[in-house]
Amino acid sequence: MLLKYQEKLETIREQVIEIMSGLISANKMILDALKDCDKEKFENAKLFIKNVSNKTEEIDRGIVTTLALHTPEARDLREMVAFLKITNELIRAASNTRNFINGFQDVCGQVDMKAINEFALPMQKSTVESLEHTALMLTLDCVDEVQECFNKALIAENKTDDLYEMLEADVLKKSSSEAEFVSYHDMLSALRKSEKVADRALSIAALLLYARNGGQIHQI
């Protein structure tokens, strides 16, 4: 029975890793698209996050079935509980990624590339880093390594917050016309979605930390 349970758990973990890999690929392509406002790359990024809701529903069904058939020990039970919550975060991360694409490609050619290079690019890079550090946690068993990856995901997420606040202050300071203000406001709205992707990555990282270390679940 234990062997079958471990096999089910490994399957669920692999399914989560697959979705995380798609999110990373999508956000990396967004990063590349931002460099020259390439609308084709923006659209192609969406391909990596297709059918996330269907995939997470399959994971949830697998978790519920596994819990019904087996009686996992403490750590395994924590991991199952964590994955059940992680699927919701994955849906939200995919939705935020898609909304970012839709919002930013409409304004990308209307704002100064200097603002994109100074704020949007490093912000998106930090979002990718938060996703990558979180995804790495799914492959680790060492508590110290898991904690280290969580700390790196936290640092990356904090960078997105800081950059967003800097851009917001910069926009309020330099927008000289109503049309310019509207364009930059739309850019801020889109970048808020990128920031939310990093938030969701950190939420997943916190759940994975709980799965390994125990304690309380801290929602980000």
State what percent of residues in the chain have pLDDT above 70. Answer: 93
Please write the tens of the pLDDT for every residue from 97-144.
Answer: 999 999 998 888 788 788 888 899 999 999 999 999 999 999 998 889
pLDDT of residue 145: 94
Q: Which residues in the chain land under pLDDT 50?
A: 1
Distance CA 141, CA 47 (A): 31
CA nearest to 157, candidates 132, 186, 188: 132
Pick left, alpha or beta for residue 70 (phi over 0 → left; psi -120 to 50 → alpha; otherwise beta): beta
DSSP assignment string, 13-65: HHHHHHHHHHHHHHHHHHHHHHTTT-HHHHHHHGGGGTTHHHHHHHHHHHHHH
Given a contact cutoff of 8 angstroms between Cβ atoms, the answer to whether 193 and 103 are in contact is yes
Distance CA 204, CA 84 (A): 11
Q: Which domains does the chain have, with CATH numbers?
A: 2-213 (1.20.58.220)
pLDDT of residue 68: 84
SS (H, E, C) 161-205: HHHHHHHHHHHHHHCCCHHHHHHHHHHHHHHHHHHHHHHHHHHHH
